[in-house]
Amino acid sequence: MVHDNYLITHECIRKEVEYVLSEDMQFKGIKPVYFSSSQDVRNSEVILDIIREQKCDNDILLLCDRSCPKVSIPDEYSGSVNVHKVEHMYDLFTENLVLQEYEGTGSFIIVSGWLENWQDNIKSVAQYDNNSVFSFSESYSSILILDTGVHSDLIVRAKELSEFTGIPFKIHDVGMEYFNLIFENLVLRWNIEKKQSQLKICNRKAASYAMSIDFIKTIADITDESVAIDSICKLFSTMFAPKNIVYYSFNEDGMELKYCKLPGTEQENTIKLKNSDSNYIVFDTEDGFAIKIMATADVLGIIEIHGVAFPEYLDEYLSAGYDLAKGSGLAISNIRRYHELFRSREEQVKLAEMLRTTNRILRHDIANDLQIIIGALDIFEENGDEKFLSMVKQASQKSVALIRNLKEIEEVSAGDKQFELLNVKSLVDGVISKHTAEFNVRGDCVIMADKAMSSVLDNIVSNAIIHGNATKVDIGIVSQNGTCEISIADNGTGIPDEVKSRAFDEGYKYGKTGHTGFGLYIARKTIERYGGTVQVEDNKPTGAKFVIELNAARMDNYVAN
């Protein structure tokens, strides 16, 4: 059965069409629409208006005679229009040999339905022949009426026409069998053509989907979005051979140009498309397009294809590009989800580590200090020896330092990356102003960090002076090759080799000065949060040397912004 399709044809065969549609179940889905002789169908706009009036996107079969012009599908119409022309409408009802015999004798041939509105129809014939009705007696010897058997008042109307034209009429019984065969053949061929067209589309879609699946497989293991975008753009470049490809990436930080074959690109089309409900736009030049890269309702990016090699195939390019964009959206979405899960896992690990450290400090270190305080106070109450008050004071100060360490550990574990441009020389000057040792500071550089950097420098300097008994500290600051190296060398007692490998471990203590064991651990965690490294080595001739390496801030970008 043919479903939800329209047949547009002349009203002179209305009853014949409706008879066939009602008698044959395979045609039940066809909806007929008719035009009259008063409508000048030689004007294509008349046909287009009839199509627009249907207000649908179904496929249409236009069945008409030689007067019907070539019809192009309206831009707003998404269905197909198949035009089938015959020389005369009466050719649909009997064989050519019969018609040629009567045409040879000068007969004016009509179908029986033509008589339904013969007054209007004869006017259109006269206009078409650019003559008057009174020329009929000179042009035709008789009127031949092809009787299909579905018009009850045929004789009456035939006599009226004969009297008006002064030409005798003849009736030739053709019945409905020939028309039924012609109509069935016509509709079936139309349906086959549609199926073939749909099959071609399906094959193209299948090829496009297969290509998309293969492409997704090739980038499935990529975890770097920039690498994936580069692969996407190269594939589009290979397929469409454009002059230029532009890719804009969208995330919570805004829009970023990620890929461009040629310098200089306009953002107007991109912003217009992003804010619209459409998934793509075709450029006014009709040699390129832009497509959204999406995952569900989120716009992850937009790819622009400029100057395709063969603009006449732009529709096919757009269809294939749209399918590839779907696969690309899935790939980009998976990469972003991977990093979200990775960051979430990192945060969970940091939180677990912080809780473990906090629990250890509270249950072990601070609890021990409280036991010392309680015990010392009990002994002081018994014998009044003030050395136990000194023990209370020392244990209290250690607990305060531990609590301060807890706050710093929490800040480090929180991962807050609200960094700012900091001048290392200024940080160092602020730290050494609190100490009485001899300092020698050389060089300078700028880094992206936060206030915790001062604590890192102060902890290392304090360890050198308090725990290493250093009297002199040399601080070198060197900026080169995009890095900032900070070296802090002292002339103290140094750090044994067996201690160096554990100096930055959580809670590790050495020496007799009673430090908490968390200072260098916090320093390492802070430096790692900045994306840097810290290590300790021997200083020559004596002492220890701490080397911090960080990324130097890009001042050119800062100034430009």
> Burial, 543: exposed, middle or buried (Cβ in 10 Å; 0-12, 13-18, 19+)?
buried
pLDDT (0 to 100) of residue 211: 67
Strands 142-147 and 107-111, sheet pairing? parallel
Grade residue 265 by pLDDT with cuts at 50, 70 and 90. Answer: low
Q: pLDDT tens-digit profile of 267-294? A: 777 788 888 888 888 888 888 899 999 8
**Mean pLDDT to the nearest integer, 523-536:** 88
Q: Which of 20, 9, 7 is nearest to 59 (CA)?
A: 7
User: Does position 130 have pLDDT exceeding 50, yes or no?
Assistant: no
Question: What are the b/e assignments for 155-166, b being 16+ CB within 10 Å?
Answer: eebbeebeeebe
User: Does position 436 have pLDDT exceeding 80, yes or no?
Assistant: yes
**Mean pLDDT to the nearest integer, 225-234:** 87
pLDDT (0 to 100) of residue 389: 73
Separation between Cα atoms, residue 134 and residue 56, nearest integer Å:
44
Hey, what CATH topology would domain 420-560 get?
Heat Shock Protein 90 (3.30.565)
Grade residue 133 by pLDDT with cuts at 50, 70 and 90. Answer: very low
Q: pLDDT tens-digit profile of 477-498? A: 999 988 999 999 999 999 998 8
> Burial, 262: exposed, middle or buried (Cβ in 10 Å; 0-12, 13-18, 19+)?
exposed
Query: Is the Cα dihedral 468, 473, 476, 477 positive or negative?
Result: positive
CB 302 within 8 A of CB 290: yes
User: Does position 128 have pLDDT exceeding 50, yes or no?
Assistant: no
**Mean pLDDT to the nearest integer, 452-463:** 86
Tell me the pTM. 0.43
More confident residue, 265 or 297: 297
| Phi, psi of 35, rounded to the nearest 5 degrees | -120, 155
Grade residue 263 by pLDDT with cuts at 50, 70 and 90. Answer: low
User: Does position 105 have pLDDT exceeding 80, yes or no?
Assistant: yes
Separation between Cα atoms, residue 197 and residue 260, nearest integer Å:
37
| Phi, psi of 101, rounded to the nearest 5 degrees | -60, -45
Where is average pLDDT lowest: 108-112, 202-206, 323-327, 424-428?
202-206
User: Does position 515 have pLDDT exceeding 60, yes or no?
Assistant: no
pLDDT (0 to 100) of residue 559: 39
In this structure, which CATH number among 3.10.150.10, 3.90.1150.10, 3.30.450.40, 3.20.20.70 belongs to the domain 211-339?
3.30.450.40
pLDDT (0 to 100) of residue 132: 46
Q: pLDDT tens-digit profile of 325-373? A: 888 888 888 888 888 878 777 766 766 666 666 655 555 556 656 666 7
Give residue limits of the domains in the chain. Answer: 5-86+179-192, 90-175, 211-339, 343-412, 420-560
Grade residue 262 by pLDDT with cuts at 50, 70 and 90. Answer: low
The neighbour count for residue 459, using CB atoms within 10 Å, is 21
Q: Which of 153, 144, 142, 143 is nearest to 172 (CA)?
A: 144
Separation between Cα atoms, residue 155 and residue 163, nearest integer Å:
12
